[in-house]
Chain A
Amino acid sequence: MYKKRITPALIKLVLGIIAAVLAVLFIITTVASVKAGYSALKPALWGGMLLIAAIVLLAVGSSQLVRARQFNRMVEESGVTVKEEKRATIGDFFKKIFDGIKRFFLSIGNEFKDIITTFINGDWKTKLSYLVMGFGCLARGQILRGILFLLFEIVFIGYMIFQGGYWLSMLPSLGKVGQHKEWVNVGGISVEKMLPGDNSFKILLYGVLTMFFIIAFIYTWRQNVKQNRIAEEIIRSGKKLKSGKSDLRSLVDDQFHKTLLALPLTGILIFTVMPIVFMVLVAFTGYDGAHNGIANLFHWEGLKHFQELLSWSNGSNTYSATFGEILTWTLIWAVFATFSNYFLGMLVAMAINKKGIKLKKVWRTILVMTIAIPQFISLLYVSKMFAKNGLINLFLIDHGIIKLGQELPFWEDPTWARITVILINIWIGIPYLMLIATGILMNIPADLYESAKIDGANSWQQYKKITLPYMLFITGPYLLTSFIGNMNNFNVIYLLTGGGPTNPAASTAAGNAGYTDLLITWLYKITMGEEAKYYMASVIGIMVFVVVGIIALVVYNLLPSVKNEEDFQ
């Protein structure tokens, strides 16, 4: 059952990283705030919050260390086999990356070597294949492969002549002549006739697509060369070449994964990878609402917008200070949203699972029902309930509990608003966690509890020593994904507060950010806002990627349950 220990070093490491990230953030925001001329109070406030978060983390962490040791001992004593594992360290992580890079360049070198030697050693069929793709296959009787290769080459050349060439040639300038207008008199009425010009957006889009196509062509060409070499080798060794029929058969058998993956990966390539490449490129252009690429062209602007984000010399208009603040709140939100749901969800699950509690199904059904109701309905309604003159405040006023002017400032006060969104997020999240926790709790072997009981452990001790470590161990990856999910939790914030209340210091040209805005809702505001600064949204998007990526990759690589994939089978 248990194949792995929780390594104390691992916990220490993860906590260390989180604490380090918090510390760095604290320094960044302080410097940014001070440079931007904010009152001294603000950095102090943020610093305090971060410090508390760090202390809580360290406290939780040290108790976790103790628990982990106890758990490990317990597992050993229960007689289940434990596989020793080498402890992962930060050094390993970087070494892995370094090795990867080294391997990458080595393999590219090998590819070139192979291409050249194949040409030198190959027969005339192979040599001709370098020019006419698939010729070797056709000449050796592999008709199906040959036709496919040849067809691809014809399509590619046709595309490049009629379309791709134009897009590529326009890519450096992103368009030369913009849309222009001329006056025409039609039926006695003077009107402007629009004469379309270049379209920067399309040039960028189809330029990127053409690049993708070229890469695909190079890859296919390389496969074509490789096929020739393999075919020659097979013939030399006196075996028979594969026929088209057996090619097809292998696609439902040995090579079945290619069939399975073809459709999903094409979708991901076109609808995820390509747009991301495109949006990364937008960060280096001047694409915004006024320069939408049609009425006014946009052009390459290099690193200008990155400097705009990172420079601290713009007075209160700076993106950097706003970015620092929002990033900090996003992380705080993600920590609270993830862990509050996690522990409270577990608590509810344990309450329902407890022996002697009746109507288990009813309780569970009521909670689960709320998952099914679309969030935009419930959240929009709840948001109105908590308004200054919403149901809750009016109820309190009507019953004389508070007076006019003493309403609870759920959405008006920054701190209240932040706490309220976290609480309402608990309302949203507990049912999911309850479900997951129920499933896991049922899997905990009863004998662990039995032996604990014999040792005289009370239920709190049992929870501390058995339930919690077990849950944390199993749900490690889930916690990570839900942490990232919460960082990008658009719905809850957008539907509840729309990012409000406004942050006087940040609410300027820098995207009109509010106190509860997460990076993702801020991005949305920048994209859909007054000036529609797509390039800035893109720059911030890249920053989000970097931050999330660093946190997640390090943690993910060190999580125990990810690595031992094979153990489950």
Chain B
Amino acid sequence: MSNSNNMPKRHMGLRTANTVSNVLIYILLVVICIVWLIPFIFILLQSFRVESTCQVGYVIPHTWGLKNYVNLLYSESSGLFGTAFSKWYLNTFIIALCTAVIQTVIVLCMSYALSRFRFKMRKALMQFMLILGFFPGMLTMIILYRVLKDLGLTQANAVPGLILVYVASSGMGYYVSKGFFDTIPKSLDEAARIDGATRAQVLWRIILPLAKPIVIYTVLTAFMAPWGDYVFASYISMGSTAGKNVAVGLYEWLSQDQIMNNYTMFCAGGVLVAIPVTVLFMCLQKYYVEGVTGGAVKG
């Protein structure tokens, strides 16, 4: 503000302009927040509607209650947590947890190797993986199903099968974390090497502690993805209730023959699915932002 003395009038003008634009921005932000939150609030409201189970043309329930949530988790024949939804929820949770751990290990291995080592074929390998990514992955679904079936990992055993599918090719998603590793100065490695550390020790003792944001970012994204996967999960569970994840189970509740009975339960199920992911995300948001901005933009 050293130049304010030279231009007092303009400064005043700027200030009013600033206030006006700030007000406009506040209005914009409020509108955006409303638009962004409305669907979620509506879903929440619908999940407490107990007077009917189908879609209706109003938002505020006429009768409030927890029946939908109770039905999700408890039924007379199967007891508390014995329902299909509980099973799907547990399946998804196990898948998400295992995927998060294994995928993180794989992605970190891959990206660290590609960031720190200069070996023959490295460039070719990176280009090859880039090219592989152009092929629509959906097509491979048919064949992956058969491979998993020969291993006995479909239908009721879809959980390990899905974990395998999710983590197996996760090495191809190395871009973001490689970008992050690239920003950690190489001199740190070299100093440690001079002190006699092996490459493995360098990774474990020097790099990993510095890479906390990207580790958390990877864990978080890997954990979140399985909750929403419909296509692969429905293909690999192939009609078996025991092998479905929440997305497949809930999606089928909206099919023509079930939507009338299960719509409000779908909303309640949606809320239950959103809770753990949202809470986790809120807690680790800071790292997510660091990870995504540290690595994502550089490719």
Q: Which A residues are within 8 Å of any B CB, using their own CB?
A: 201-202, 205, 249, 252-254, 256-257, 259-261, 263-265, 267-268, 270-276, 278-279, 348, 351-352, 354, 356-357, 363, 365-378, 380-382, 384-385, 389, 391, 394, 427, 431-432, 435-436, 438-440, 454, 474-478, 480-481, 484, 488, 490-491, 494, 519-520, 523-524, 527, 534, 537-538, 541, 544-545, 548-549, 552-553, 556, 561-562, 565, 568-569
Known A261-B110, A267-B171, A568-B183; judge A523-B138 contact (CB<8 A). yes
Contacts of A370 in B (CB 8 A): 36-37, 40
Q: Quick one: which of B3, B57, B117, B293 contacts A394, CB cutoff 8 A? A: B57
CA distance A219 to B245 in the complex (A): 41
- Cα(A542)–Cα(B21), bound, Å: 51
B250 partner residues in chain A, CB cutoff 8 A: 376-377
When the two chains form their complex, are residues A271 and B169 in contact, meaning their CB atoms are under 8 A apart?
Answer: yes
Please tell me if the beta carbons of A481 and B42 are within 8 angstroms of each other in the complex: no
What's the Cα separation between A263 and B164 when bound, in Å? 12
Does B270 count as interface, using CB distance less than 8 angstroms? yes
Asked if B132 and A365 make an inter-chain contact with CB atoms under 8 angstroms apart, the answer reads no
Please measure, in the bound complex, the distance between the C-alpha atom of A541 and the C-alpha atom of B136, giving whole angstroms.
6
A549 CB → nearest B CB, Å: 5
| A-B contact list, 16 entries, CB within 8 Å | A259-B200, A263-B109, A264-B110, A264-B170, A272-B137, A272-B169, A278-B143, A279-B143, A372-B277, A374-B274, A374-B277, A378-B43, A380-B251, A436-B293, A438-B289, A553-B131
C-alpha gap A443/B66 in the complex (Å): 48
Chain B residues packing against A (C-beta within 8 Å): 3, 18, 21-22, 25-26, 28-29, 32-33, 35-37, 39-40, 42-43, 55, 57, 59, 106-107, 109-110, 112-113, 116-117, 119, 129-144, 146-147, 164-165, 167-172, 175, 182-183, 185-186, 198-201, 203, 224, 227-228, 230-231, 247, 250-251, 254, 266-267, 270, 273-274, 277-278, 280-282, 285, 288-290, 292-294, 296-299
Give bound CA distance, A366 to B282, whole Å: 10
Check A474 against B168 for contact (C-beta < 8 Å): no
B72 to chain A, nearest CB (A): 14
Top-6 shortest CB links A-B: A439-B293, A264-B171, A477-B299, A275-B140, A374-B228, A271-B168
Contact across chains for B227 and A374 when beta carbons are under 8 A apart: yes
Cross-chain contact B270 with A276 (CB below 8 angstroms):
no
What 19 new A-B contacts, CB under 8 Å, besides A352-B29, A427-B36, A520-B136?
A: A256-B200, A257-B117, A259-B200, A261-B113, A268-B168, A268-B172, A273-B132, A276-B139, A278-B140, A357-B26, A374-B224, A381-B270, A439-B289, A454-B3, A478-B299, A488-B136, A527-B142, A548-B134, A561-B299
Q: What is the chain A residue whose CB lies nearest that of B140? A: A275
